[in-house]
Amino acid sequence: MRLPPGPPEGLFGLGFYRTLRRDRLAALAHVARTYGDVATFRMGPQRLALLNHPDYVEDVLVTRARLFKKGRALERAKRLLGEGLLTAEGESHLQQRRLVQPAFHKPRIAGYAASMVAHAQRAADRWRDGEQLDVAAEMTRLTLTIAGETLFGTDVEADAGAVRQALTTVFDAFPLTMSPFAPWLEKLPLPSVKRYERAQATLDRLIYRIIEDRRRRQDDRGDLLSMLLLARDEEGNGGRMTDRQVRDEAMTLFLAGHETTANALSWTWYLVAQQPDVERRLHDEVDAVLGDRAASVDDFARLPYTRMVLSESMRLYPPAWAVGRRAIEDFDVNTYTLPKGTVVLVSQYLLHRDARFYEEPERFDPDRWLPDRQKGRPKYAYFPFGGGNRVCIGESFAWMEGVLVLATLARRWRLELRETEPIPTQPGITLRPRRPIRMQAYRR
Ligand code: HEM
């Protein structure tokens, strides 16, 4: 078996693990730069391979997807998410995907647009001229409220602070979760383990409350939660969805449905504020298209520049910064063979900033999404939503929400960055800003 090159494995395979723990993105970039598009390293007993070319992304996510299962991060995420859509495998995944899919059909997404705009307007009404905001907290509150209403028909705005706090704790535990010693460490009464358990309990309480509320009312509002509960009830005992499954699915959609879009929006404001010409064109577009009226679903197609801004922001700061898959058999890449059990990583963060596919890759330039300038770029040089049978189910939801929220807020407010130092990234389960992004709101 011929293994690809990679950094020295060191004692117990922990040589590179320390580097990785210090700065995950820099460490992966170093591996790709030094060892090429196919590289391998170890994290204790676990072998990983970094495949850093769009052809390999397609290979792993689409063409040879059947050779892989979900990777270690998502297996570990089962602790919080259980067996929801994001973590389930095989037949169970297929069944759940079919069940949940109707909530994301085009007419349903169109139906959510009004709620997206209404909540963005409420935020725009709440802000005061000259007020300093923590943009990431604001965007989380907004996307959480939208997910709560559209998917669960419930108001969770008051819970936004607690959810953000609980998720921060879960994210802070990410290095522990990913440690090769996690199965042992998690059994110890460490303060970080206790904090994690409390955070999980907070999220569980909220999800169960939402489910219980709905069950008591026994109404079918046609939203996702009603669908989940109906799927459970229809079959009676031994049915398709147990209470636990409803909880897992609801938790998955609740978290996946707001955290990623909150990050995308936060980074977008951060980038736009640093580029006055982009900000001006964004304002010009929303003024021309919307004038003084509220946005509607039909405006989505009329706001191409706003969409390009969002595309470009998710290029530089992809909320999902890497996708991992575990090989269920030995597999060949290029002239190498990787053994069964290897966790394969493909990274949006690395490929979206790769000079082979993007001129001046570090530059925030929404115009690179003009159709002419996309010619010749491989499809999987950009994959913020993944690909293949596990592609993000919420992709259209996210585009609709991102564009309408940006347009609604930009129509009324200009956000000025109040940071002198660049905001570092925190690559945990998603790519969060490491600290609050302080911005000052000015009425337009
Ligand atoms: C900017 C926003 C978003 C980004 C960047 C994003 C990214 C992704 C990515 C990369 C995956 C694939 C993960 C993998 O292959 O291992 C994924 C899956 C998923 N996403 Fe999203 N997502 C976003 C928004 C949403 C929204 C709004 C929802 C729900 C309302 C959602 C729900 C899900 C679910 C349930 C899955 C698992 C799908 C499956 O395995 O069948 N996402 N997302």
User: CA nearest 92: which of 203, 242, 204, 236?
Assistant: 242
Q: Is the CB of 319 under 6 A from ligand 1?
A: yes
Q: Is the CB of 257 under 6 A from ligand 1?
A: yes
What single letter denotes the amino acid at residue 206? Answer: L
More confident residue, 231 or 369: 369
What are 287-342's pLDDT values in tens digits?
Answer: 999 999 999 999 999 999 999 999 999 999 999 999 999 999 999 999 999 999 99
Residue identifier of the C-alpha nearest atom 16 of ligand 1: 323
pLDDT of residue 189: 79
Helix (H) or strand (E) holding 443: strand 438-443
What are 187-200's pLDDT values in tens digits?
Answer: 777 888 888 889 99
Calculate how far, in angstroms, residue 257's C-alpha sits from the geometric centre of ligand 1.
7
User: CA nearest 32: which of 56, 64, 2?
Assistant: 56
Calculate how far, in angstroms, residue 228's C-alpha sits from the geometric centre of ligand 1.
18
Q: Is the CB of 386 under 6 A from ligand 1?
A: yes
Calculate how far, in angstroms, residue 391's C-alpha sits from the geometric centre of ligand 1.
7
Query: CA-CA distances (angstroms) from residue 79 to 94, 287, 325, 439?
Result: 21, 46, 18, 35
Model-level pTM?
A: 0.94
pLDDT of residue 228: 84
Cβ 335 vs Cβ 2: under 8 Å? yes
Probe residue for ligand 1, chosen from 392, 397, 429, 430 as the CB with the greatest number of ligand atoms within 8 Å: 392
d(CA 105, CA 112): 11
Residue identifier of the C-alpha nearest atom 39 of ligand 1: 390
pLDDT of residue 242: 77
List phi, psi (to 5°) of 414: -115, 130
Query: Would you mind telling me the total number of residues written for the chain in this entry?
Result: 444
At 208, list the tokens. Answer: 């169960």
pLDDT of residue 229: 83
391 CA closest ligand 1 atom index:
12
β-partners of residue 438 are 134
pLDDT of residue 428: 86
325 CA closest ligand 1 atom index:
16
Calculate how far, in angstroms, residue 229's C-alpha sits from the geometric centre of ligand 1.
22
Query: CA-CA distances (angstroms) from residue 118 to 146, 154, 213, 401?
Result: 9, 15, 23, 11
pLDDT of residue 121: 97
pLDDT of residue 26: 95
Residue 235 pLDDT greater than 70, yes or no: no
Q: Is the CB of 57 under 6 A from ligand 1?
A: no
Residue 238 pLDDT greater than 60, yes or no: no
| pLDDT > 90 in the chain, percent | 67
d(CA 411, CA 186): 48
What are 78-133's pLDDT values in tens digits?
Answer: 888 888 899 999 888 998 898 889 889 999 999 999 999 999 999 999 999 999 99
pLDDT of residue 53: 98
d(CA 166, CA 160): 10
What are 161-171's pLDDT values in tens digits?
Answer: 888 888 888 87
| pLDDT > 70 in the chain, percent | 97
pLDDT of residue 236: 47
Pairing of strands 46-51, 38-43: antiparallel
88 CA closest ligand 1 atom index:
40
Can you list the alpha helix ranges (DSSP code H) found in 242-275? 243-256, 259-273
More confident residue, 220 or 8: 8
Mean per-residue pLDDT over the chain, rounded = 91
Pairing of strands 46-51, 343-346: parallel
| CATH numeric code, 11-443 | 1.10.630.10
Cβ 130 vs Cβ 442: under 8 Å? yes
Residue 234 pLDDT greater than 60, yes or no: no
Calculate how far, in angstroms, residue 393's C-alpha sits from the geometric centre of ligand 1.
6
pLDDT of residue 240: 58
Mapped onto helix, strand or coil, the DSSP state of residue 440 is strand
Which band of pLDDT confidence, cut at 50, 70 and 90, is reported for residue 173? Answer: confident
Calculate how far, in angstroms, residue 236's C-alpha sits from the geometric centre of ligand 1.
30
At 99, list the tokens. Answer: 């069940």
pLDDT of residue 239: 54
Calculate how far, in angstroms, residue 174's C-alpha sits from the geometric centre of ligand 1.
19
